[in-house]
Every structure is written in C-alpha cells, then in structure tokens.
A and B are shown apart, each in its own frame.
Chain A
C-alpha cells in the first residue's frame, strides 16, 4: 500500500510541477476512523497529503463536472467508469482530465462494521494484509476485509480502471462476468412483497439528497425536485413524493448508472437505493446489451434509436 501511495504522490507532484494540471483531486486522511475523504491538491509540496487505503469510498468523478480547471484525478475502477460516462455525455472534456488510475480491491463498509461492534467506540483502525484491526478503549477485533466490503464492491466487475492516463499500481484480478443474483431473487417476489420492501426502504428517506449529490451522474443544473415553477413534486416526506423522487432518479440513471454505490454510502439512513438502479442496469444489459461506463465508443442506448431496438418492455411490460 505504501508503494501505491508513493506512486500516487509522485504522479501528482510531477503533474503539478510540470504545470500539466491545476489541481489533483484525490483522497486524504479523514478525521475519524474508517474515513478517508476527498481533497484538492494545488501545489507540488502538498502532494504528500494524498493517501490510498480501504476507506476511499467517495466517487471523485462527482467533482469534475462544471469545473474549468485542468484536473488530475485519482480514480478507482468505478470512478473511471463514471468519468467515462461523463466524457461520453460531454460533461467533461477528455483532455481536461489526467486520470491516475488505481486498481481497487474494494472499500470497507463502515456502517456494517459499526453494527458488528454494536456500542463500542472505535478509536483506531489499522488495515493489514486481508484483514483490518479495530482498537477501542478496552477491546481489539480483527476482521476480514472480504467479509466487510460495501455491497457494490462485492459485485464489482471492474476493479481496475477502464480508462486512465497512468496506472498507479499493479492490476488486480477481476471477478468474472456480470451477475445480478440479488436482483434475480428480488424479481421472484410477488408485486406486493416488492412494493412493501420498496415502501419500507423509502419511508426512512429524509430527502437530504445526499444520494443525488454524491452521484457522479446526477449533474443536472436543476434537479426536477428543486424546480419550483412548475413544481413537479411535493417537498414533504409524504411517501408518494419520496417514492417519486427515487423512482424518477432511478429512471434518469437507467443505462448510465455505473453501480459505484456512492449513493448508498452517502445515505445516512442506510436505504437500499441501489436496488432500483441495479434492476434497470440488468434490464438495459438484457435489452440493449449495454453496460454503462465500459467503452467510449458504444453509444448509450437511451441516447440513440435503432429500428431493431427491443420493444418487449412496451408490448409486454
């Protein structure tokens, strides 16, 4: 890990020194255990702030939109997939960003760790080879990283950057093939059961919009929920309005969502936001043989029309 961090710092330092970029967006140490956080490095001597570990959970692609600077960006697999979509959607120019690709073994789910430890206060955490050691006032616990990865990391098929200018570390082994076991079992439930699950999840939503704001592909200048003239949606936490927000957001991300999981990690209430997005990803893959954030050349299915496009979902919904 140290070699990787040194490599990231070295690349960032060179980029800034040579004036190739104005800023490097990466991760720095957070203020509490289990948190690394986004940082913006603007001079070569600040490059040592940059780090890499199993807590770099934010999708940094969310910061490149609507910026005029030339940016270096530290990007794991899912960050590069989002960048690729943003390039395709012309939200950022390819030449405007220098992608420092970082192969990623997945990020640790701090919420599940907290639940596992119940009420004990975590003082420090140390990541080791395959495990992490948590220390508190009067306890120590070593846990397997693999067992505590975020749900999106568990099903990730693009651990290595899909697009980059420089790779900061050795490529890691990918899991094979796209599978949706979670969605397939969910699809097997009755309409009532699915609706009940969805309603219960949505009932916890407080409309803080952390999911939307953490999402690299949610970049609308004005989100439909913020429009006031006309106002499309009620602003209370009425169940139908909350559900409408999530359903509309999911549809808007169909064929665009790269399943980075940033929405879920940002949600303070731990709502299963990805369920809808993954269902739509699965459908888009089945209907259009398209997966978001993989290739710059493939045209996004919802941005084009082909006479032989599948119509099954219209004719037999």
Chain B
C-alpha cells in the first residue's frame, strides 16, 4: 500500500517535459509494436487474399491485397477436389483422442512428481526431461520397427497411444504449475478423508485448468498439423489426415496457388478458432507455471 501511494506521489511531482517525452515514447512504442504485429500477420493475410483470387490475378506485376473480383468458389473447388470431409473426420478423431489422453495422463504424472515423496524422484524427473533431447530422427526407425512387429501399421494406434503416457514437456509444465499451489489444500483434503486420487481429480485438476488448457491447445496444434507421423504409419487412402491431404493436393494442383491457399485456409481454420478461444488462458497457464523451477 505504502509503495503504490508513494509511486502516485512520485508521478504527481514529475515535471511536465518528462510527461511529454513519455507520451512521445508511448506513441512510438505503439507504432513499432503495431508494425511488428503487421509483419507477423502479413503472410497469413496474404494467404487468405490469394485464396480468393482468380488465375489472372495470381501473376501480375503489381499484386493486390484485396482481390477483385473475389472468387469464393475456390473454396468449394478445393474442398471437392479431394475427400476432405473424410480427412477432416479422421484428423478430428486422432486429435480429440490425443487431447483427452494427453491432458489426463500428463496431469496424473505431474501430480505424482509435484506432490509425492519417493526415492530418486528428482532423478527420474531429470531422466524424463533428458529424454526430450533425443532427436525424433533417432526414434523414427526403432519406433517404426516396434509398431510393425505389433502389427499396428496403417492404424491410428501409433499416432494416439503414445499420448496415453504423456509427454515430458507437458509433464514438466504441469508440475511447475502444481508446485505453485499451496500444500495446505492437500492437507485439508486429507484430513477430510480424501485419497491421492480424489485430491488429484477433485482439487488439483480444476485448479490447474489454465495449464491443462495450455497442454490441450499445444496437443491440438501438434496432432492437427502432424505430417510425419501419418506419413509413416498410414497407407490406405481412407485413413489419411488433412496434413497428408494437403500434400496430395499440392502434388495434383501444385501450380494452382489460389486453390492451394484455399485448401490451406480450410486446414488452418480450426487451429485459428481454437487458438483465438484459448489464447488468454494459455498465456496465463504458462505465466503461472512460471517455468521457474
């Protein structure tokens, strides 16, 4: 209280010219920040713009941002040129399964690491983190051999089942988050007769909601956009995913940029919506987990 009062006092006694300098700085800051924002969003905007052009507008010396005429038929054309509905359903199935499994398993394991005492706990946690260092390319051949021997090729199992065991980064994130929740809550619940399982499900899962949403969003983006997993494990056409579909589309209509961009926007749209809906949660989710240790 005293600190903020003295700050107010300090601000009030500031000479006028410092205020003016600050105002100019603030304007410059806004211009710079907006400029940076524009640069980052520009490729996306251009993608939407290209997806609405007709062929004549694609290759001109002075490209236009807003197409005239706008050709919305590009979307229908792209959508109908391949079984995109099938791909969307397949991808949704994989993505939703991964999210459910990942959120539950990571929450579960993180609770164990954050709240229980056992021998070599920090050692096992370290080993788990170290496993992130291994490049995917080292894993690729051995994993393929394992799944082949289990007869799981051309099924969704190799794409979904690993999520049931969690992944090191998300376990790390959730553990950090849980460490910030006071232990008194656990103790109170234990006195009331709750076991670990009840404390986890009824107290910790709701309290870590923001961090769980973060994990869910990251899992969503990872699974939805995954290209190599489906490429390696799925062979039959009916099982393919959107990322693969886009690749096939690129092979067939590679020179027709407007259709390619329309197809890309279609694939991207669900990601965009999830991201918009969840972004404030996941900034908070990462902030509270603090990555602080």
A binds B: no
